[in-house]
Structure 1
Amino acid sequence: MISATVTGNVWATRRIEGIPAGAFLEVEVDGTGSRLIAFDVLGTGVGEHVLVAQGSVASGWFTGTPPPVDALIIGSIDSNPNK
């Protein structure tokens, strides 16, 4: 699992069958500057800090036949109110 920041939306007007409802988002991995595309079912937005699962864990979250998703946003990281 990695922490990342959502940096933008990826618009896909056409999808293969089997991709569930959700959005493709570009995220930047915290501390590395590397970017990847993650699938989002939570409704997160640009600038939010998120947790991303990768690989079979990401596609295994879905019921039925696993979709071809290898990065899934699984949580939103809340700010620490004491900082």
Structure 2
Amino acid sequence: MGDSNYKPKINAGDQEPVLKQAELDYMKIIEQKNRERVQKLQQLGRRNKITGFAIGAGVFSIYLYSIFAVKQETFLDDFDEPAKIQQ
């Protein structure tokens, strides 16, 4: 089939890759920076949720206020229908 497109596997034998101390130190620095980045993103996510709930609560309260304010209107209750003209 299309097996010729794949590169052959490399047999490394029993040898494990050996990393230099500078490479290990660099990996530790990168891991620490990544942990700090994740913590900042988690804090930002929490603040975004709190802001979203606050805005949603404000919108919902304005909606409820407007519904109750319209229900209290009584100017149409006192409206008398005009007498119908009989022919």
* TM-score between the two structures when normalised by the length of structure 1: 0.18
Q: Which has the higher contact order (CA 8 A, sep 6+)?
A: 1
Q: TM-score scaled by structure 2?
A: 0.17
Which structure has more strand as a fraction of its residues?
A: 1
Higher helix share: 2
